[in-house]
Amino acid sequence: MAPFVNAGQFLDVTDVWDGNGLNDSLASAAASMTIDGKKWGVPYTYYQWGIYFNKDAYKAAGVEAPGPEGVDWATFIANCEKFKAAGIDCLTTGTKALWPGAGIFDYMSLRTNGYEWHMDLTAGKIAWTDDSVRAVFAELGKLQPYVTANHAAIDWQDAAALLVQGKAANYVMGNFAVATFKEGGMTNDNLGFMAFPEITPGIPRSEDAPTDTIHIPAGAANPADAKLFLAYVASADAQTKLNAAIGQLPTNKNSTVPQDDPFLVSGFQMLSTAHALSQFFDRDAPAEMAKAGMEGIQQFLVQPEELDNILARLEQVRGQVYK
């Protein structure tokens, strides 16, 4: 959104938010719609990211499956050692296409330093060589030994197969993957979901939730009616009906979701109560920075000893991209 706003291509719709109570009903998405204190669009659908897990793999390793509240970070890492002893990957991913690794990094960043810091990083305001960035990679380093070893050579669907087969216990992924898990034979009985664990105590919980939005062009011929349409799309009833049709989540916290889908129910509750929502690393950062960042994340997950070189390279890219 930022490139369009900065180029003067979107109309300020702060009055739509203020006049329709959207700062409350769309609270979790408000920050991602705000630039320079103004609102520039309306979100109408999103989907959650988090940790999907195989309950059978937990049982095979003698690890208690997480409840609705999930587990803390120390417990998650301690469990990884138990999975390793059982010959099961604690966390699987497939970073051949780079973006799945970015989802892991997003959560490390959001949980270590918080949403505002994460957005400053993707906006080029923080040096990649800063100690606060190293703190994120320090936490990622705790997880690195337990990630599927050949992740850089496989796609996300290949990693999904490992979760389905019980060769992996956990997978940081978006809710669109549930269909793939179930096509592989998983059911609501052995597929679980939890929010990514808290790392730094007290940091407000923010989530990755790629969001689709509607905007009004700055040169719109009929902005008054366009604003009425945005208000309608933002309403609880409209979002309930629209998202029921497309199988995603309404951004209005007063909407409802099908109660027979536990993943939609969990995701709706999690996102509706979040402090803020990031869009995903390759949406929040400019394309060149996103590509370099995702390559660096992938390399760290393979070669953590190369961290200094990775961060130096990313800092060089930052200097070139943000001018």
- pLDDT tens column, 237-296: 999 999 999 989 999 999 999 999 999 999 999 999 999 999 999 999 999 999 999 999
Please give the share of the chain, as a percent, with pLDDT higher than 70. Answer: 100
Query: CA–CA separation, 203 vs 127, rounded Å?
Result: 21
Query: CA–CA separation, 52 vs 47, rounded Å?
Result: 14
* pLDDT bracket for residue 299 (50, 70, 90): very high
pLDDT, average across residues 113-133: 97
* pLDDT bracket for residue 2 (50, 70, 90): confident
Q: What is the 3-state secondary structure (H, E, C) of 152-221?
A: HHCCHHHHHHHHHCCCEEEEEEEHHHHHHHHHCCCCCCCEEEECCCCCCCCCCCCEECCEEEECCECCCC
Give the tokens for residue 146: 């337990």
* Residue 106, CB-side half-sphere exposure with 13 Å CA sphere: 32
By CB atoms closer than 10 A (0-12, 13-18, 19+), residue 44 is buried
Angle at which helices 287-302 and 307-321 pack, to 10 degrees? 180
Q: Which has more confidence, 237 or 69?
A: 237
pLDDT of res. 1: 86
Q: How many C-beta neighbours within 10 Å does residue 281 have?
A: 25
Three-state secondary-structure class, residue 303: coil
- Which domains can be identified in the chain, with CATH numbers? 2-47+217-262 (3.40.190.10), 49-206+286-321 (3.40.190.10)
pLDDT of res. 49: 97
The per-residue pLDDT for range 192-250, each reduced to its tens digit, is 999 999 999 999 999 999 999 999 999 999 999 999 999 999 999 999 999 999 989 99
Which residue shows structure tokens 């216990």?
169
How would you classify the pairing of strands 168-174 and 207-208?
unpaired
The rounded mean pLDDT for the chain is 97
Question: Is the pLDDT reported for residue 73 higher than 90?
Answer: yes
How would you classify the pairing of strands 168-174 and 49-54?
antiparallel
Residue 123: which of 18, 203, 5, 13 has the closest Cα?
Answer: 5
Which residue shows structure tokens 């998983």?
186
Helices (H), 72-155: 73-85, 99-112, 115-122, 131-143
pLDDT, average across residues 13-32: 96
